[in-house]
Amino acid sequence: MHFDTLQGWLSWQEGFHPLAIDLGLERADQVFAALNPNHIKPLTITVAGTNGKGSCVAYLEAIYKAQGYRVGAYTSPHILKYNERIKIDGQPVSDALICDAFARIESVRANHSLSYFEFGTLAALDIFWRSELDIQLLEVGLGGRLDVVNIVEPDIALISSIGIDHVYWLGDTRDAIGREKAGIIRAGRPAIVGDPEPPDSLIQTAVEKNAQLYCIGRNFGYTKHLSTWDWFANNRHIKNLPMPALKGEHQYRNAACALLAIDQLAERLSVSESAIRLGLETVELTGRFQLIEGEVVPILLDVGHNPEAVKTLAEYLGSYFPGKRIHAIFSMMKDKDIKGVLDIMKPMVYQWFFAPLTNARATSETAMRDIFIHSEMSNVSFGYTDFADAFTAAKSQAEPDDLLLVFGSFFLVSDGLNEFKKGGLTK
């Protein structure tokens, strides 16, 4: 099979494998061995976690890039364009580069059926090992142990947090989920844990594997000051660092994890304090507490889609937008804990506007109506055709000192940013 355009490849991949999510390493491992028989790989940091893994990758990318290293970063999902998943030196790679990688994968795939995510991960790994990188940063898509990213041996495993999410595939307890995410840990290598209260299963797995375990609050951490912060690990200190450009209390934990990973690799990739400072000041991450100053009412976008992430959002709103009336444009995937999210945000949101999504995993309006009723919430508006329709309705109800909040799903934020790019909605 061969296609001349990236969209052609992606459309074919979406319907090729019988399951959208099919965890396991064997298929992809065999295909990647055919693509890369000598198992060549750049220095590798693999990042897993329920929340915060994208931020950790962003910090690492910004700091290594500030030092002048050639950095590859693989993340998912994308917000606006598929190419965002595969970046070199902070820039999405071209359609042509991805298409060439897909063609190479197809030429050696034989009888192995690959999922959409497996195709994309293999393409990233194939592009990276051919690109003479100094380091590659790999974000786990789901879990860790059986996620396709785990076919690559990491030099450092970083686990940002453990929360309840993806229960169908990972289990419904923090212990079960922690065990799955700990699957990226390797014997004798650093395992960095950014969760202040990691489940016993994660710690036990690291000990069983004889990994070099570093837990925030025990082996490393941070101290906040009025306008700066300090990072420390054992006898290492960096004082008076600039505030992370990514907002929220949790970003200190994510940044601290990234700094420890950089410190652990310092003998192989040295990084100056000036590069660390520049990276912290310039790091960017689309869709995370992203503020757009509309001409009338400010707009905040956040991809938080589980209770842990939304607790962080609620804390951020309370700190940075106290007293504002919040009009929420909202939607979620049906496999998420929607009621848990609503319970957290219920006291903060003045009015809700349900924005339907075209994604097959999205919650229907009928189901969402029932969930709002069971949550005893009546300040909800339905009946909109798409994001633009729901957003326009919310904006018409907002006053200049209010806040428009778009949250609940990567796909919703993607719809929002695509509409904002067209112009008109924010005016």
Report d(CA 303, CA 60) in Å as an integer. 20
Residues 6 or more apart whose CB falls under 8 angstroms from that of 266 comprise none
Region of 56 (left: φ > 0; alpha: ψ -120 to 50; beta: rest) is alpha
CA torsion 366→308→415→59, rounded to 10°? Answer: -170
Report d(CA 319, CA 289) in Å as an integer. 12
Q: What pLDDT is stored for residue 167 in this prediction?
A: 54
Q: Which pTM was predicted?
A: 0.93
Q: What pLDDT is stored for residue 81 in this prediction?
A: 95
Indicate the burial class of 178 (C-beta count within 10 angstroms; 0-12, 13-18, 19 or more): buried
Residues 6 or more apart whose CB falls under 8 angstroms from that of 258 comprise 56, 59, 60, 63, 158
Strand order in the sheet with 236-242: 220-224, 228-233, 236-242
Residues 52, 60, 77: CA angle, nearest 5 degrees: 50
Q: Which parts of the chain have pLDDT scores under 50?
A: none
Helices marked H in 266-381 — which ranges? 273-282, 307-320, 338-345, 365-374
Report d(CA 39, CA 51) in Å as an integer. 30
Cα–Cα nearest to 114, from 11, 39, 19, 180: 19
Give DSSP secondary structure letters for 172-203.
Answer: SSHHHHHHHHGGG--TTSEEEE--SS--HHHH
Report d(CA 208, CA 426) in Å as an integer. 53
Please report the domains of the chain, with CATH numbers, ordered by start residue.
Answer: 6-282 (3.40.1190.10), 290-422 (3.90.190.20)
Report d(CA 186, CA 371) in Å as an integer. 42
Cα–Cα nearest to 184, from 134, 242, 124, 144: 144
Cβ proximity of 85 and 75 under 8 Å:
yes
User: In angstroms, how far is CA 408 from the centroid of its own chain?
Assistant: 14
Helices marked H in 20-173 — which ranges? 26-35, 53-67, 95-108, 116-129, 167-170
Q: What pLDDT is stored for residue 171 in this prediction?
A: 64
User: How many beta carbons lie within 10 A of that of residue 40, not counting itself?
Assistant: 9
User: In angstroms, how far is CA 126 from the centroid of its own chain?
Assistant: 21
